[in-house]
Structure 1
Amino acid sequence: MATIETLTGREKVTVQPYCEVGKAVVRLVDCGTERFLRSDNYGRSARDIPGKLSQTIQPDKAAFERLVDLGKRHF
């Protein structure tokens, strides 16, 4: 897992949506000197190992604010 420090927006593209994942668990992480929002994403139940962690996304404050800004402009 790595901390996302820089988040860059790209032009809109037309693609097919991904299938739904099994679940995502969002954790509010406080390391004392830094805070993060961590999203642990799990795959579908049809995977070889159901319930296995698929990926973790952990933006720092600046990257999270950029993500919120991109989402507001997009939606």
Structure 2
Amino acid sequence: MAVVRTFDEKELDRPSKHSEVEATISLVEADGEKFVQIDTYGSKDRAIPGKVSQSLRLTKSAFEQLKTLAEKHF
């Protein structure tokens, strides 16, 4: 699992199509700090279906930064 405190904006050299996966979002508090956690579960044909593939915990500042960037983009 990874904790994200800030994002660095980067333009992709070659954007490519990605496969769609299931994802969940959880509101977590650990050691007195609040996080927004995003878990992805990989493709349906993976070896262990339903197992978490990737997990990101965003701090409040990272979430606010992501929200601002997304609002400008969309």
Q: Structure 2 length normalisation: TM-score? A: 0.86
**Superposition map of 1:1-75 within 5 A:** 1-11=1-11, 14-21=14-21, 23-31=22-30, 33-75=32-74
CA distance in structure 2 between the partners assigned to 1:20 and 1:44 by the alignment: 7
Q: CA deviation at 1:6?
A: 1.5
Moved >6 Å (runs of 4+): none
Extract unaligned runs of 5+ from structure 1: none
The letter of the residue matching 2:10 is: R
Percent identity, please: 39
Q: CA deviation at 1:15?
A: 1.3
CA RMSD of aligned residues (A): 1.6
CA distance in structure 2 between the partners assigned to 1:67 and 1:24 by the alignment: 17
Q: Structure 1 length normalisation: TM-score? A: 0.85
What is the count of residue pairs matched by the alignment?
74
- Encode CA deviations 1:34-72: one digit per residue, 9 max, x unaligned: 110001110111111111110001110001101011101
Question: What is the SS of the residue equivalent to 1:53?
Answer: coil
